[in-house]
Amino acid sequence: MAQYIIQGGRRLEGEHWVQGAKNSALPILAAAAATKSQCVIHRCPALKDVDAALRILRWLGCGVRREGGTVTVDAAGLSHSRIPEVLMREMRSSIIFMGPLLSALGHAELSAPGGCEIGLRPINLHLEAMRALGAEIVDEGGRLSCSAAKGLHGGRYILSFPSVGATENMMIAAARARGTTTLTNAAREPEIVDLANFLNRCGANVRGAGEGVITIEGVESLHGAEHAVIPDRIAAVTMLSAAAITRGEILLRGAAPGHMDAVLSVLEQGGCRIRRAPDGEMHLRACARLRHFPTVRTMPYPGFPTDAQAAIMALACVAEGASMITETIFENRYNHVGELRRMGASIRVEDRVAVVEGVACLHGAGVEARDLRAGTALVVAGLAAEGRTRVRGVCHMERGCERFEEALAALGADINRMEEDSDGKEANEDKGEKK
Ligand code: UD1
């Protein structure tokens, strides 16, 4: 298992190019399968989750080629409609292939992704959305057999919660369904708009993405297209947080500040000076100790993103005063709390509310990342901690952060990626246990 070793206390300063958005790339790659043609996707981040999506595409019969940040998917050979469990398990969002397979082949067989580190993550809304389009779905002990022998038809569906994944699945499935589909209480995330733009480039007719009601006029067929994925707003927040916690400054290039208003205003409340430029450049400077963030409540977009909650909590740990953070999207998204406490943080959690009393300084410790965003928060905290922090579970961060340690080191951080001893010696020493 790989780990990061961080020597804290270095002020970060410099420029960083923001990666393409993981959460856009994944549904867009899945949607490419539905075109049964060739699609060229630019700015596709090099991440484990993206690799997992490419493996699924290959398994389904698509040709896949990556050259730098550009991925070419040739879906003309799409022929398999069954995704084996081992591939489904590699990435939770593999459920996003359900809509494309139903649309292109009239059949999809996949397994329901189980619960995971951050919550139950049920898929009932995905299933209801597909049924609203005429799909028949049989669940045999977690193995889902979905079919639409005569093709999907347009339908109306009101989401009881604006699920990002269910909105995406329905948009892709409805693109070629017969007739009109109306999706109400749809998710409004920028990644939804990006997917709609991609689908429309492929000949689909999707209107209203980014608003609460999305209307999709089904078209006879889709064709291939070329598309560049939007910047990753969460990866951008991670880098801003890394600069802010070290009282540093950073110039982000190729970002989309307009997608980050909720987070930027919280960082500004904390005392960061942020300059946004219309061309995607943004600059953050944090000269002094951060001030507390009175109330941060995660909400569907345009609210404060759940994916940025952990990084902001790391900042709150060393801010002056008490911050209150409420997680409303996932049931179990405080995996970082116990580990931050090992570094000297003062955090009380009651149900979904975390009260963080800022301390003057964190100290280095051996900690473990149990999910992607928890892991990045621990790295952010380690950058400001006194002494050495060892963050295990790098594999989680590699799911979503492109060349994370290289990017931080380029800004002046003292961070190294190391393979842990096979006998776990160093990790045990961190816990005061000798083998
Ligand atoms: C996406 C993002 C993830 C982000 C999340 C919320 C991707 C690949 N992942 O995940 O990074 O944290 O949005 O912004 O884009 N729910 C149900 N039933 C369903 C589906 C969802 O109850 O069928 C619930 C979930 O348990 C959760 C909430 O809805 O509590 C939000 O989930 P959803 O928006 O679907 O998140 P994902 O699409 O899985």
Give residue-wise pLDDT tens across range 23-65.
999 999 999 999 999 999 999 999 999 999 999 999 999 999 9
CB 384 within 8 A of CB 367: no
Which pLDDT value is given to residue 113? 73
Atom of ligand 1 nearest to the CA of 163: 34
Atom of ligand 1 nearest to the CA of 161: 29
Q: Which two tokens stand for residue 129?
A: 């959305």
Which pLDDT value is given to residue 8? 97
Q: Is 119 in the pocket of ligand 1 (CB under 6 A)?
A: yes
Q: Is 307 in the pocket of ligand 1 (CB under 6 A)?
A: yes
CA separation for the pair 183, 121 (Å, rounded): 21
Q: Which residue, chain included where needed, has tokens 């400077």?
A: 285
Label residue 363 by pLDDT band (50, 70, 90): very high
Q: Is 389 in the pocket of ligand 1 (CB under 6 A)?
A: no
Q: What is the pLDDT of residues 291-339, one digit of tens each?
A: 999 899 999 999 999 999 999 999 999 999 999 999 999 988 999 999 9
Q: Is 23 in the pocket of ligand 1 (CB under 6 A)?
A: yes
Which pLDDT value is given to residue 423? 52
Q: What is the pLDDT of residues 155-201, one digit of tens each?
A: 999 999 999 999 999 999 999 999 999 999 999 999 999 999 999 99
Q: Which of 44, 117, 121 to mutate to test the pocket of ligand 1 (most atoms within 8 A of CB)?
A: 121
Query: Is 432 a residue whose pLDDT tops 90?
Result: no
Query: Is 430 a residue whose pLDDT tops 70?
Result: no
Centroid of ligand 1 to alpha carbon of 126 (angstroms):
10
For the sheet with 107-111, list strands across it: 107-111, 143-147, 136-140
Atom of ligand 1 nearest to the CA of 329: 30
Q: How many CA atoms lie within 13 A of 79 on its CB side?
A: 4
Centroid of ligand 1 to alpha carbon of 165 (angstroms):
6
Query: Is 405 a residue whose pLDDT tops 50?
Result: yes
Q: Is 329 in the pocket of ligand 1 (CB under 6 A)?
A: yes
CA separation for the pair 319, 49 (Å, rounded): 33
CB 203 within 8 A of CB 224: no
| Ligand 1 atom 26: residue of nearest CA | 121
Q: What is the pLDDT of residues 236-293, one digit of tens each?
A: 999 999 999 999 999 999 999 999 999 999 999 999 999 999 889 999 999 789 999 9
CA separation for the pair 356, 273 (Å, rounded): 22
CA separation for the pair 326, 352 (Å, rounded): 6
Q: Is 124 in the pocket of ligand 1 (CB under 6 A)?
A: yes
Q: Which two tokens stand for residue 349?
A: 């959690």
Which pLDDT value is given to residue 434? 36
Residues of the chain with pLDDT > 70: what percent? Answer: 95
Residues of the chain with pLDDT > 90: what percent? Answer: 87
* Three-state secondary structure readout of the chain: CEEEEEECCCCCEEEEECCECHHHHHHHHHHHHHHCCEEEEECCCCCHHHHHHHHHHHHCCCEEEEECCEEEEEHHHCCCCECCHHHHHHCHHHHHHHHHHHHHHCEEEEECCCCECCECCCCHHHHHHHHHCCCEEEEECCEEEEECCCCCECCEEECCCCCHHHHHHHHHHHHCCECEEEEECCCCCHHHHHHHHHHHHCCCEEECECECEEEEECCCCCCCCEEECCECHHHHHHHHHHHHHCCCEEEEECCCHHHCHHHHHHHHHCCCEEEECCCCCEEEECCCCCECCCEEEECCCCCECHHHHHHHHHHHHHCECEEEEECCCCCCCCHHHHHHHHCCCEEEEECCEEEEECCCCCECCEEECCCHHHHHHHHHHHHHCECEEEEECHHHHCCCCCCHHHHHHHCCCEEEEEECCCCCHHHHHHCCCCC
Q: Is 123 in the pocket of ligand 1 (CB under 6 A)?
A: yes
Q: 185 versus 433: which is more confidently predicted? A: 185
Which pLDDT value is given to residue 433? 38
Atom of ligand 1 nearest to the CA of 93: 8
Q: Is 25 in the pocket of ligand 1 (CB under 6 A)?
A: no
| Ligand 1 atom 5: residue of nearest CA | 164
Q: Which two tokens stand for residue 194?
A: 């990006």
CB 112 within 8 A of CB 139: yes
Q: Which residue, chain included where needed, has tokens 């393409």?
A: 20
CA separation for the pair 50, 45 (Å, rounded): 7
Which pLDDT value is given to residue 332? 84
Q: Which residue, chain included where needed, has tokens 């979904």?
A: 352
Centroid of ligand 1 to alpha carbon of 163 (angstroms):
5
Catalytic residue of the set 116, 287, 317, 361: 116
What does the radius of gyration of the chain's CA atoms come to, in whole angstroms? 22
Which pLDDT value is given to residue 37? 97
Centroid of ligand 1 to alpha carbon of 370 (angstroms):
18
Q: Is 36 in the pocket of ligand 1 (CB under 6 A)?
A: no
Strands 13-17 and 249-253: parallel
- Tell me the β-bridge partners of 390: 5, 366
Output the CA–CA distances (angstroms, integers) from residue 105 to 33, 36, 82, 89, 108, in the order listed. Answer: 10, 10, 11, 22, 8
Q: Which two tokens stand for residue 215?
A: 């209307």
Atom of ligand 1 nearest to the CA of 162: 34
Q: Find the farthest-apart pair of alpha carbons in the chain and give their distance in angstroms, rounded.
A: 66
Q: Is 213 in the pocket of ligand 1 (CB under 6 A)?
A: no
Ramachandran area for residue 11 (φ above 0: left; ψ -120 to 50: alpha; else beta) = beta
Q: Which of 29, 128, 161 to mutate to test the pocket of ligand 1 (most atoms within 8 A of CB)?
A: 161
Q: Is 24 in the pocket of ligand 1 (CB under 6 A)?
A: no
Atom of ligand 1 nearest to the CA of 306: 12
Q: Which phi and psi angles does 153 have, rounded to 5°?
A: -120, 160
| Ligand 1 atom 11: residue of nearest CA | 307
Query: Is 114 a residue whose pLDDT tops 60?
Result: no
Which pLDDT value is given to residue 116? 57
Which pLDDT value is given to residue 428? 47
pTM, rounded to two decimals: 0.95
317 is catalytic: no
CA separation for the pair 349, 337 (Å, rounded): 8
- Tell me the β-bridge partners of 296: 325
